[in-house]
Each structure stands twice: as C-alpha cells, then as structure tokens.
A = this chain, B = another copy of it.
Amino acid sequence: MKSFNSADLQNMEQRFRSTLINSISGFKSLQMVGTINQRAITNIALFNSIFHVGSHPPFIGMVVRPEGDQHETLKNILELGVYTLNNVNEDNYIAAHQTSARYLTGESEFTECGFTEEYVDDFKAPFVKESNIKLGLELVETIPFPKNGTTIIIGEVKHIILDEQFICADGYVDLAEAKSVTVAGLDAYHQTQLLGRLAYAKRGKQPEFLNVNEKEK
C-alpha cells in the first residue's frame, strides 16, 4: 500500500495533487447547470459536486468554485433565484465536457456546444433539451466557505422532467437505463452497470437482493 500524509500533500506538484484529490473521494454526480441572467443570456456549467440533502422537502446541494464559468452560474442564480440540473448521459457527455471551456461574455454554451434551451411553464431557468432527466430548482440557502472561497448552495426541487420509462414502481429512477454517466476526477467519464439493489438492512439478518426492476405504468 502507498500512503501520503499532510506533508506529502503539501509538497506535491500542484496539478498532480489536484488530479489526485479530485478523483480519490469516489465517483461523483454530474449535472449540467442551466441558468439565465436579467439580460436573458443563458449559461450551462458542468458541476460534479452535486449532493443529496433531503427528500422532504426535496433539497439538493452543490459546491461552486470562486472563478470562471461556475462563478457566472452563481451570479445568475443569485439574480433570478432559479436554476436547472440536467443529466449528462452517454449521448451528450462529450458536448457537456465542452461547456467547461471558457466562453466570452455574451456567448451561451447552449449555442456554442450544440444544446437546445427548453422552458417549462413559467419557470425562468432554461432546461437542456438533450438531457433525459431534468430538475428545476429554487435557491434556498447560500453558504460561503471562506477557507477556500467556494460557496455551497442548496436548492429545492420544484420541477422534475424525465422519460416515464426510467421510473420504477417504487419511485427509483433507473439512471443506468437513462445512460446517465458518472465522473471520476475532472475528466474521466464512466458508464455504469447495476450490481444489485439491496433491501433495507436489518440487524442479525443477511442482506437480500431486491427484485424491483418493474417500471411504473
């Protein structure tokens, strides 16, 4: 086994450390965040720090870096109070990666990267038509983390749009069937395959596999 301590991390070449730390915490949720500003200029930014906060109310969190396109996203979210999360799947991950390039002010990643804006009801933020699982969120909390200049934001899910065939009878969304990808580090995109669903764990009882692949009608 190889080990690194604080001093090793401190002395590491910067890009090596960044790649190591970004990948070592495990596979990550990956979403294209869609926003719009007061002047109606839209934006897509790629986020891999999405996390579940609660299901009732339905809260989702994410970490926003202080610079670049993610900062633009934060500005837009603070302006209008809404944003969308759009899944990255096997069909769109290369174009989704391209949204992380630095575009000029006034250029939208929608047109520059070949994505299509989609609007639902009177919800102001743009969804990504090419995604097959999409969420519309309202900003609930902004938590600055001064130790590295990032901001944690938490939103409440107000809209869900997805292909009906991905919803199982018990509410489970079959992400593998939707071909959603997961990312390791900043650039390693992975497809997935189900090993199994396990029943609620009980003390003194062996874990059992669930058989709930049946989709909702």
Contact = CB atoms under 8 A, between A and B. Distances in A.
Given A27-B27, A49-B53, A191-B193, A18 B171 contact: yes
Interface string A194-207: 11111111110111
Nearest to A85: B25
Interface in A176-217: 176, 180-182, 184-185, 187-203, 205-207, 210
A52 interface: yes
A3 B187 contact: no
B51 A170 contact: no
Q: Which of A19, A52, A150, A160 has the most CB of B within 10 A?
A: A52
Contacts of A78: none
25 contacts: A16-B170, A19-B171, A20-B160, A21-B157, A23-B172, A23-B175, A26-B30, A26-B50, A27-B192, A53-B150, A90-B195, A98-B206, A101-B205, A103-B203, A143-B152, A147-B154, A152-B152, A172-B188, A173-B185, A174-B184, A187-B199, A187-B210, A188-B194, A189-B196, A190-B193
A167 to B, nearest CB: 7
Interface string A4-47: 11100100101111111111111111110000000000000000
Contacts of A148: 53-54, 56-57, 59
Name A's interface SS: mixed
A128 to B, nearest CB: 13
Oligomeric state, in copies: 2
A195 B189 contact: yes
